[in-house]
Amino acid sequence: MGCKHSNPPGYAFCASCGEPLAHRRCRCGFVCADNDSFCGQCGAALANTHSAQKKGSAQIEDADHRFDLQQLMELAAQENQYVETQKARVTQDDIRKLLAKRKKRVS
């Protein structure tokens, strides 16, 4: 940001001079400041994301417009590294028990 104008959060370009603002987008989609270390929405570390973005943009400039399948697989694996919540299995018997408890409370 050349003019040092203070822009509101969420702006991609300076409202005063029109220059693109320094920001990074986390894998969750949240727009973070360029100097942030962690995402303000999901808490993911941004250091690896920033270096991968720099590496990716340099490779795009030098690319002959062909895809390296191995590199794409590695990038996809990095982007898919997030914590999944443990999903509970609910059986028909569990539902019957819950309904029976509810019926007792109502009665």
| Domain presence at residue 25 | yes
Query: Which tokens is 9 given?
Result: 């959060």
Query: Which tokens is 60 given?
Result: 């795009």
Question: How is the chain split among helix, strand and coil, in percent rounded to 5?
Answer: 40, 10, 50
Using alpha carbons only, give the angle 93, 97, 101 rounded to the nearest 5 degrees. 170
| Domain presence at residue 88 | no
- Say if residue 83's pLDDT is above 50: yes
Report the DSSP beta bridge partners of residue 24. Answer: 32
| Domain presence at residue 102 | no
| Domain presence at residue 35 | yes
Query: Which range of residues forms the domain containing residue 4?
Result: 1-81
Claim: this prediction has a pTM higher than 0.75: no
pLDDT tens, residue by residue, 33-66: 777 888 888 888 876 544 555 555 555 555 566 7
How far, in Å, CA of 15 to CA of 84, rounded?
39
Residue at 93: amino acid letter: D
| Domain presence at residue 62 | yes
25 with 32: CB under 8 angstroms?
yes
SS3 102: helix
| Domain presence at residue 41 | yes
| Domain presence at residue 36 | yes
Residue 69's pLDDT is: 84
| Domain presence at residue 51 | yes
Phi, psi of 95 (to 5 degrees): -65, -40
Domains: count for the chain: 1
